[in-house]
């Protein structure tokens, strides 16, 4: 099973509109996970946008270094949620070319990493909503009760 996907530049652009509060303007998206996380490249190396945590971090200096990380069981678990993706596929939750797995209740709002909390969603919609969510809650103190979020179309 392939644990990554690529999308058209227009899809990445639309999906990432809501993530402008992170330093992604000079980075080029090159790869996505089945959960909508995005790997970027810039002059300094490769970066990982974790749409579940709402964070961006450098993960490798070269393409070979990135590939070596993703070829290990640890890298597949850390970056690709490989075990979970394979379990979902075995359970019949199949992805269409423009879809990714998404959480019914995002982990940042108390959702679990259980198959029962995962659905299929369009990549652009999933990533864009995640960016809006993280932007709204990123400065909220830990433990704050969230009463609702606003999603722009």
Q: Domain residue spans in the chain?
A: 4-137
Question: Residue 108 corresponds to which tokens in the numbers above?
Answer: 């940042």
Question: Residue 114 corresponds to which tokens in the numbers above?
Answer: 């259980």
User: Rounded to whole angstroms, how far apart are CA atoms 32 and 95?
Assistant: 13
Question: Residue 59 corresponds to which tokens in the numbers above?
Answer: 């993960």
CB of 3 within 8 A of CB of 75? no
pLDDT value at residue 142: 77
CB of 32 within 8 A of CB of 122? no
User: Rounded to whole angstroms, how far apart are CA atoms 108 and 97?
Assistant: 26
pLDDT in tens, 20-76: 999 999 999 999 999 999 999 999 999 999 999 999 999 999 999 999 999 999 999
Averaged pLDDT for residues 138-144: 80
pLDDT value at residue 153: 64
Q: What is the pTM of this model?
A: 0.93
pLDDT in tens, 75-132: 999 999 999 999 999 999 999 999 999 999 999 988 999 999 999 999 999 999 999 9
Residue 20, SS3? coil
């Amino acid at each position: 099973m392939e644990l990554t996907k690529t999308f058209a530049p227009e899809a990445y652009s639309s999906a990432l509109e809501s993530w402008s509060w992170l330093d992604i303007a000079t980075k080029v998206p090159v790869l996505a996970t089945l959960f909508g996380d995005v790997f970027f490249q810039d002059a300094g190396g490769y970066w990982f946008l974790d749409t579940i945590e709402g964070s961006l971090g450098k993960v490798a200096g070269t393409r070979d270094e990135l590939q070596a990380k993703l070829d290990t069981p640890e890298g597949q678990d850390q970056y690709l949620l490989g075990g979970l993706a394979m379990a979902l596929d075995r359970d019949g939750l199949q992805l269409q070319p423009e879809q990714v797995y998404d959480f019914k209740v995002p982990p940042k709002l108390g959702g679990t990493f259980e198959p029962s909390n995962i659905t299929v969603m369009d990549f652009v919609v999933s990533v864009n909503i995640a960016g809006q969510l993280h932007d709204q809650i990123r400065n909220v103190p830990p433990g704050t009760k969230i009463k609702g979020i606003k999603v722009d179309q």
